[in-house]
Amino acid sequence: MGAADGSPPASAPAGPQAPPPPSRAAAASEPHAGAPAAPAGVPRGNRYLAAVLAWLVPGLGHVYLGRWLRGAAFCALVSAAAVVGVSLDGKLWRPVAGKPLSYLATPGAMGLGGGYFVLRTGLGYQGDVTAAGYEYGSAFLLTAGLMNVLLVLDAWDVSRGRKR
């Protein structure tokens, strides 16, 4: 039998072939926990929406981009720092005339996004300068805001395809 009688040559495989098994390197680079597979360098979602969501609620930008586990971990981390800061009666920075450091610290604290405005405007939170943990609380609140700013940048990079 052969090509002359219409049958496939003996060297040609019969039927569709299965794809080769993935290599160890390919398996190690797979995305985590429910995120759809996207090769590196491929943009995901709207980068502006991801950044705004990440600023408003810590971790929400990552959730929007399909990084559920990462988003939940970031939300827990930033929220825990903010809760510790509030429980220690730390200062939630705002601009104060004649105090130039307040103009540098306020954008950092505002990095908390929606949480900053809920605390400042909604709950009227100011902190208590006479509290024993005031300085530590102030550091926790400022750190929570700055961490969230870094997470906004991370969500931006993930949405642009620069980072997995």
Burial class (CB in 10 A: 0-12, 13-18, 19+), 137: buried
Q: What is the mean pLDDT of residues 113-136?
A: 90
Instruction: Tell whether pTM > 0.75.
Output: no
Burial class (CB in 10 A: 0-12, 13-18, 19+), 138: buried
Please give the pLDDT value at position 30. 45
Distance, CA of 32 to CA of 110 (rounded, Å) = 31
Tens digit of each residue's pLDDT (9 = 90 or more) over 96-122: 999 999 899 999 999 999 999 999 999
| Mean model confidence pLDDT for the chain | 82
Instruction: Kindly give, in sequence order, each residue whose CB lies less than 8 Å from that of residue 106, ignoring residues fewer than 6 positions away.
Output: 93, 94, 95
Question: DSSP labels for 68-100?
Answer: HHHHHHHHHHHHHHHHHHHHTT-------TT-H
Q: What is the mean pLDDT of residues 15-30?
A: 54
User: Does 24 or 76 have the greater pLDDT score?
Assistant: 76
For Cα atoms 52, 58, 63, give the angle at the middle one, nearest 5 degrees.
75
